[in-house]
Amino acid sequence: MNDYVILTDSCSDLEKELREKFDIKYIPMRFTVDDAEYAADLDWKIISPKDFYDLMRNGKRVKTSQISVIDFETVFETYAEKNTDILYIGCSSALSASVKASVVAAENVKEKYPDVKILCVDSLNSSYALGLMTIYAAHMKKNGKTIQEVADSIEREKLNYNQEATVESLHYLKLSGRISAASAFFGGMLSVKPIIVSDIKGQNVSIEKVRGRQTSFDKIAERVADEIITDNHDEIFIAHADCEKDAILLKEIIAAKLGDKNIKFHIGYVGPIVGASTGPGTIIVDFYGKKVTFEG
Lowest-confidence segment of 79-83, 163-167, 227-231, 248-252 by average pLDDT: 227-231
- Confidence tier at 172 by pLDDT (50, 70, 90): low
How high does pLDDT run on average in the chain?
A: 92
DSSP calls for 212-276: SHHHHHHHHHHHHHHHB--SS--EEEEEESS-HHHHHHHHHHHHHHHTT---EEEEEEPPHHHHH
Q: What is the pLDDT of residue 190?
A: 40
Q: CB of 134 within 8 A of CB of 23? A: no
Lowest-confidence segment of 71-85, 167-181, 241-255 by average pLDDT: 167-181
For 53-94, what is each residue's pLDDT tens digit? 999 999 999 999 999 999 999 999 999 999 999 999 999 999
Question: Sheet of 192-198: strands edge to edge?
Answer: 204-211, 192-198, 161-166, 283-288, 235-240, 264-269
Q: What is the pLDDT of residue 175?
A: 55
Q: How big is the chain by its Cα radius of gyration, in Å?
A: 19
12 to 115, 182, 291: CA distances (angstroms): 29, 31, 20
Q: In angstroms, rounded to a whole number, what is the distance separating the alpha carbons of residues 88 and 148? A: 12
Helix axes 98-112, 69-80, angle to 10 degrees: 40
Q: In angstroms, rounded to a whole number, what is the distance separating the alpha carbons of residues 66 and 124? A: 15
Evaluate if pTM is beyond 0.95: no
Q: State yes or no: pLDDT of 274 exceeds 50.
A: yes
- If you average pLDDT over residues 196-209, what whole number do you get? 91
Q: In angstroms, rounded to a whole number, what is the distance separating the alpha carbons of residues 122 and 177? A: 23
- As a residue count, the chain comes to 296
Q: What is the pLDDT of residue 176?
A: 52
Q: What is the pLDDT of residue 173?
A: 64
Q: In angstroms, rounded to a whole number, what is the distance separating the alpha carbons of residues 238 and 270? A: 9
- Confidence tier at 261 by pLDDT (50, 70, 90): confident
Q: State yes or no: pLDDT of 191 exceeds 80.
A: no
